Structure 1
Amino acid sequence: MILFTLLALFFAAIVLRRRARVPLALAGVTLFWLLAAGWLSEPLLAWAQWGMQSVAPPTYATRTVIVMLGGGTEYDDSHKLVPRHDAMVRIATSADIYSACKRTGARCDVVVSGGNPQHHATSEADNYLPYLLQRQVPRSDIVLENRSRTTYENARNVAALLQGERYDSLILVTSAYQMPRALLDFHRFGLTPHPVISNTRQVRVGVLPRYDNLVDADTALHELIGIAQFHVYRLLGWF
């Protein structure tokens, strides 16, 4: 979405600035080639995921709460609504952590936080539930938070769920690119979860443009702008 907006701005500038059409067009083509070929996407993604590669493994206590953030849904070739790739990895990671937690004898709960920002048939949390059940996480230990549309709302709504609840260890599961912003938002609501990275993204740098590199660049820009927005809002007293 961010890259689409940038492309639209380039197009508008080319239309309005007739004398500068050629240099603007060349600048636009060069910029999008650098992004699609990975030369700009790689540092952007590395910046968004900075510091997330060496996170320590979680520790479990008497009562452990595992919070998994939604990662979107999509329709497959048979028009079935399924978790997107990053969400599937988050589900697998959360289930593995739950299993490890239970082996310690602790009480373990999984909070799945994800609403329906894409306006699909069901919310992310409800869509992910069967996949957690398939991975041997019992329904009685799963809490669905299916109203959040943003990372900020994830943190706010999870904080409301946990208010007044006693827990000894709080674990947050999401992808590396989302974790820095998620931690800021959770800290904003007085929660200090231990981060667990479900997956990191990698850019393939080369000569030929790749669509995946544009997706990674857009994702990185979304997270970096979100972090900047958080700090601006804090300075303004809005958060």
Structure 2
Amino acid sequence: MTLFAWSAVLAVLAAGSWWVAGSGVWDVPLAGNASRTAPAFGARNAIVLLSAGLDHWKPDAPFGPTTDGMSRIRQAAADYAACRAQARVCKVIISGGDPEGHGIADAELYAGEIAALGVREDDVIREARSNTTYENAKFVEPLLQGGHYDAVVLVTSAYHMRRAKIAFDRLGFDVIPDAAPADRAEFSLVPRRQNFRLAWRALHELGGIVQLYLYDWTSIH
């Protein structure tokens, strides 16, 4: 094959990849079933809430949870309310450090937000060191072991759940996934900016999953 032919093939592949990412067609087989099954609680329960970073809602406003972060907070608060309604022991473990250097850990700020939704302060446990999904699981592990929980409910965004569950599974925890709603790509023949952003997010998740498998391969705990 000539150099011109190879260049033409690469150009077609690049254009095709660009259209697939922007059209959102890549997300169609991932849509699955949107129905949700309520978690089954035990006598002692831990609801593990993974943070999703902080953001400024207004230029001069203090930091607050991102949109995905608030979605996760609401999901965890709903799980907590359902757990308490059954007169069970219910704890919320909020996991998230300060990976972007804002000067406050996600766990600290999220704790205030979830308290406003009815979660008792003495039922909130903060894990404020983790900066990655791998560290979420690593630093939450001793908290789960020390609490002797019968059921562990894992709350994170739907797009992040697979990677998060792998991280906890590899440490021996049989978590109950309860995914919070998040933006999905919308199919469009004309590529959309939002779909490019979500495609990059999906690639980031895929890279994170590969990283966890590499950790297993290299025996990194």
Normalising by the smaller structure, the TM-score range is 0.7 to 0.9
1:151-190 correspondence runs (5 A): 151-190=133-172
Whole-Å separation in 2 of the counterparts to 1:60 and 1:130: 24
How many percent of aligned residue pairs carry the same amino acid? 33
Q: CA deviation at 1:236?
A: 3.3
* Aligned equivalent of 2:23: 37
Identify unmatched segments of 5+ residues in structure 2: none
* Aligned equivalent of 1:135: 117
Q: CA deviation at 1:155?
A: 0.4
What's the TM-score, normalizing by structure 2? 0.87
Residue 91 of structure 1 pairs with residue 73 of structure 2 = yes
Distance change in 2, residues 1:225/1:53 (3 Å): farther
Q: Retained in 2: the 8 A contact 1:61–1:168?
A: yes
Q: Retained in 2: the 8 A contact 1:61–1:169?
A: yes
> Aligned to 1:109, what secondary structure does the other structure show?
strand
Whole-Å separation in 2 of the counterparts to 1:18 and 1:125: 55
Q: CA deviation at 1:205?
A: 1.2
> Aligned to 1:214, what secondary structure does the other structure show?
helix
Q: Retained in 2: the 8 A contact 1:115–1:148?
A: yes
Q: Select the residue among 19, 32, 40 that pairs with 1:59.
A: 40
Whole-Å separation in 2 of the counterparts to 1:24 and 1:117: 37
> Aligned to 2:49, what secondary structure does the other structure show?
strand
C-alpha distance after superposition, 1:172-210 (max 9, x if no partner): 111122111111111222221111111144211113332
* Aligned equivalent of 2:215: 233
AA matched with 2:128? N
Identify unmatched segments of 5+ residues in structure 1: 1-16
Q: How large is the RMSD of aligned CA atoms in angstroms?
A: 2.5
AA matched with 2:23? A
> Aligned to 1:121, what secondary structure does the other structure show?
coil
> Aligned to 1:89, what secondary structure does the other structure show?
helix
AA matched with 2:39? P
Q: Retained in 2: the 8 A contact 1:55–1:195?
A: no
Q: Select the residue among 54, 59, 62 that pairs with 1:78.
A: 59
> Aligned to 1:167, what secondary structure does the other structure show?
coil
* Aligned equivalent of 1:117: 99
1:2-13 correspondence runs (5 A): none
Whole-Å separation in 1 of the counterparts to 2:99 and 2:11: 34
AA matched with 2:104? T
Q: Paired residues, what number?
A: 218
Q: CA deviation at 1:32?
A: 2.4
AA matched with 2:59? S
Distance change in 2, residues 1:75/1:20 (3 Å): farther
Residue 213 of structure 1 pairs with residue 200 of structure 2 = no
Distance change in 2, residues 1:36/1:111 (3 Å): same
> Aligned to 1:149, what secondary structure does the other structure show?
coil
Q: CA deviation at 1:118?
A: 1.8
